[in-house]
């Protein structure tokens, strides 16, 4: 399907008449609702008719002086009723996103030491002494893919020891990466 001049004119006409994208797609045939929406935006037709037109007031009414209202008799001042403040509209919080760190920049703060058990840390330190220190291109489905170091430096490597079946890491790194929820929750308290 191509957008011929005739089809574009039909789209413009129907859009200005207030037809929905689905109705226009059905009328044109061979085109989806999304294709119609895309074409509307590319043609700059996204605003149907622009701002609402205000009815004009007759010139003689606007030029005439407003009639004076008769004054109400003086009433004793009564205390105003307390009014509840209107609740402020609150925007929902933005979702948390980890910042992207360009190469050569310092890494964002890492998890606090109390989030990983001391036994797991000791085990990882021992394993990293005997790790194979593989590059990205040397990894296979059977090697531990635990990254060590800063990727922006030449000292960056992957563990490379045999991975546990069905996991991307060796036994020591699985102990750090996959902790039961209850264990993590208990350490935070």
pLDDT at 109 over 80: no
Q: Which two tokens stand for residue 154?
A: 């030449």
Average pLDDT of the chain? 76
pLDDT at 99 over 80: no
Q: Which of 45-49, 81-85, 145-149 has maximum average pLDDT?
A: 145-149
> In this predicted structure, what is the pLDDT of residue 82?
60
Residue 87 covered by a domain: no
Q: Is 147 helix (H, G, I), strand (E, B) or coil?
A: strand
Residue 143 covered by a domain: yes
Residue 58 covered by a domain: no
Maximum Cα interatomic distance, the chain, rounded to a whole number of Å: 97
> In this predicted structure, what is the pLDDT of residue 52?
44
Give the residue-averaged pLDDT of 35-51: 78
Give the number of domains in the chain: 2
pTM: 0.38
Residue 37 covered by a domain: yes
Residue 93 covered by a domain: no
Residue 60 covered by a domain: no
Nearest C-alpha neighbor of 131 from the set 100, 169, 93: 169
Q: Out of 65-74, 88-97, 134-143, 170-179, pick the least confident.
A: 65-74
Residue 141 covered by a domain: yes
Q: By percentage, how much of the chain surpasses pLDDT 70?
A: 56
Report CA torsion sign: 26, 28, 29, 32.
negative
Question: 17 is in which domain, residue-wise?
Answer: 5-43
């Amino acid at each position: 399907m191509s957008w011929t001049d005739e089809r574009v004119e039909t789209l413009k006409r129907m859009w200005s008449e207030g037809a929905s994208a689905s109705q226009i797609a059905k009328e044109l045939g061979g085109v989806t609702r999304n294709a119609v929406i895309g074409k509307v935006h590319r043609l700059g037709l996204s605003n149907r008719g622009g701002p609402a037109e205000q009815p004009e007031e007759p010139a003689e009414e606007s030029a005439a002086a407003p009639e004076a209202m008769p004054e109400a008799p003086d009433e004793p001042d009564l205390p105003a009723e307390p009014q509840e403040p209107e609740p402020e509209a609150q925007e929902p919080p933005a979702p948390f996103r980890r910042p992207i760190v360009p190469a050569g920049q310092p890494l964002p703060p890492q998890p606090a030491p109390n989030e990983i058990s001391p036994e797991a840390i000791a085990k990882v330190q021992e394993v990293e002494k005997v790790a194979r220190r593989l590059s990205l291109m040397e990894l296979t489905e059977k090697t531990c893919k635990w990254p060590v170091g800063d990727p922006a430096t030449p000292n960056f490597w992957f563990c490379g020891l045999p991975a546990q079946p069905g996991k991307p890491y060796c036994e020591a790194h699985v102990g750090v990466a996959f902790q039961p929820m209850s264990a993590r929750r208990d350490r935070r308290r």
